[in-house]
Amino acid sequence: MLVFWKARLVLLAVPKTGSSAYERALAPHAAMTVLDPPELKHAPVYRYNRFFRPMFEKMGVEHMELMAVIREPISWLGSWYRYRQRGFLEGRPTSTRGISFDAFVDAYARGERPPYANVGSQAKFVEPRPNGTNVSQLFRYENQAGIIGFLEERLGVTLDLPRENVSPRADLALSPATEAKLRRKCAADFEIWERAQ
């Protein structure tokens, strides 16, 4: 999470959406960078609302605008799957080694997910709170030009994004039945991506 105090903007770090690259490029311009623990670095709207919003209000700021980037859901799951193929996870319950992408997505679309497929939900991450706290600047990961343009104009900076945290390549084939199941069970994730800029 990056806080730009003067611009009254908070960039929430949705996992697997290039947040490490934005963090690297923008940290020198941020008033606050939340890097650890992961639960705060990747604080969703509900956690921002609970911990950060009250603190900012006590400092005299009524409203900080929230920005987030979300990725096309199958691509997002592909990034999680590839990330969990990495050697440091081998032998752990969260590893996807030895599991096909189709099996990973099928497990993700179940009611109770096994540890290797328990990666959260982008729709839940950006879900508005009853008190009105919400993401007003929601961008598609695939719209990098729009994201960069917004940030450069809002922050008065020029961005040169490095490639960060890139996962190994993997076969990301999905059967029509698994894709249909995912689209049915996780419709909110597809809907929120469709509404993003």
pTM of the entire structure? Answer: 0.94
Question: In sequence order, which ranges of 44-143 are alpha helices (DSSP H)?
Answer: 45-47, 53-58, 73-83, 101-108, 122-125
Tell me whether strands 32-33 and 2-4 are parallel, antiparallel or unpaired: antiparallel
CATH number for region 2-195: 3.40.50
pLDDT in tens, 98-144: 999 999 999 999 989 999 999 999 999 999 999 999 999 999 999 99
Domain ranges for the chain: 2-195
pLDDT in tens, 36-92: 999 999 999 999 999 999 999 999 998 999 999 999 999 999 999 999 999 899 999
Give the relative orientation of helices 73-83 and 187-195 as an angle to the nearest 10 degrees. Answer: 110
C-alpha 39/C-alpha 44 separation (Å) is: 9
Give the relative orientation of helices 73-83 and 176-185 as an angle to the nearest 10 degrees. Answer: 110
End-to-end CA distance of the chain: 20
